[in-house]
Amino acid sequence: MQNTPHTPSPETSKQLPELFQLLQPHLKALDAFLETQISEFEPEIRDHVAYSMDTGGKRIRPSLIFFSGWNSEGEIDPNLVKLAAVVETVHLATLVHDDIMDEADIRRNRATVAKKYNNATAVLLGDALFSHAVYLATQFPTTEVCRDIAISMRQVCTGEIMQTMQRGDPNLDMETYFRVIDLKTAELFRVACHLGARLAGFEDDYVKAAGAFGRHLGIAYQIYDDMTDLFSSEEKIGKTLGTDIATGKPTMPLILMRDRLPENEAKALRDTLAGNIEADVPYWLEKLREMGIFEEVRQAIFDEIHKGRNAIRPFQNNPSAAHLHTISELLWNQVAAL
């Protein structure tokens, strides 16, 4: 039943450009809604909030929400807009906090909140954004949305704490790598799809399936994101290659390479990741290429996308399922083009 990699899938309802055309009014409604939220904050911090919200982000999680709850007419559903605002605000809060920890100065060509103001303000502003996301989530009639969001937030934090602890651990295994990306990235993708389908009133089986789709897409997305640190043209991705080698962050390609190298070389890689010796980034990048690690990582991403597609395959009558399938092509194409 699985598609062979690179074969377009028969369930695709729309071509990608057409699909993103359909999505635009929904994203515009989200932007308009988020804009109105700035004045919901206390006057003294509205400028800070406005600054942190203006990220020009990719709006991946909101897109998943709109597609998971898609109705046949493609009408804008205010509940989905509000849910998208909740999830995007949680995501923004995590970015504000991430930038403190990473000591990042720049995000999307602007100074990070931590840089523009200071670390203390960034900690507190992230907290205020979290709080406001929760407040919005309490505006649904039942406590379900708020509960699911709270659990997801906790899991995202747990994944990030684990990642922090693993920094410089040369022996991190693949199972733990997957556990971390499941928590820190896939969980929010999952809850976006799950709650999107739930608020649209779809049947329980589909809600669960949409959640599983989101989870696998999230895993795939994070593996891809980690991969671009090691294999991509610097101009294209706009960042320096190999920072994960230099800062001792073991990602899938590095774990695969380490476990396959002869012991003397594996030891050199472990020493590099542990920060015991200076990182020879170009050497390891070349090594990854030579060993064919990238093809393998690419295949792991395709496998996750397949798992996600398989979860929603039984629901082809649901317009949402076809749209989710299509959005997964976006990632597929990006990975294939690497």
Closest listed residue to residue 303, CA positions, set 189, 216, 176, 243: 216
Sign (positive or negative) of CA dihedral 274, 278, 279, 283 = negative
Cα(189)–Cα(321) distance, integer angstroms: 15
Question: Among 146, 230, 297, 331, which residue sits at the site for a copy of itself (rule: CB under 8 A)?
Answer: 146
Q: How far is the CB of 126 from a copy of itself (least distance, A)?
A: 8
Q: In 60-166, where does DSSP find H-type helix?
A: 60-68, 78-101, 113-116, 119-137, 144-166
Segment interacting with a copy of itself (CB under 8 A) among 143-151, 214-222, 233-241, 308-316 = 143-151
What's the DSSP call for residue 251? -
Question: Among 6, 44, 73, 295, which residue sits at the site for a copy of itself (rule: CB under 8 A)?
Answer: 44
Q: How far is the CB of 137 from a copy of itself (least distance, A)?
A: 8
Cα(241)–Cα(247) distance, integer angstroms: 12
Q: To 5 degrees, how large is the angle CA 296–CA 302–CA 303?
A: 90
Q: To 5 degrees, how large is the angle CA 5–CA 7–CA 11?
A: 115
Question: Among 66, 67, 130, 177, which residue sits at the site for a copy of itself (rule: CB under 8 A)?
Answer: 130
Residue window 191-220: x/- pattern of binding to a copy of itself, with contact defined by CB under 8 A = ------------------------------
Question: Among 63, 79, 155, 272, which residue sits at the site for a copy of itself (rule: CB under 8 A)?
Answer: 155
Question: Among 36, 42, 78, 204, which residue sits at the site for a copy of itself (rule: CB under 8 A)?
Answer: 42
Residue 52 interacting with a copy of itself (CB under 8 A) = no
* Cβ atoms within 10 Å of 288's Cβ, excluding its own: 21
Question: Among 97, 107, 216, 249, which residue sits at the site for a copy of itself (rule: CB under 8 A)?
Answer: 97
Residue 336 interacting with a copy of itself (CB under 8 A) = no
Cα(260)–Cα(131) distance, integer angstroms: 46
Site residues, a copy of itself (CB under 8 A): 41-42, 44-45, 48, 93-94, 97, 100-101, 118-121, 123-128, 130-132, 134-135, 137-143, 146-147, 149-151, 153-155, 157-158, 160-162, 164-165, 183
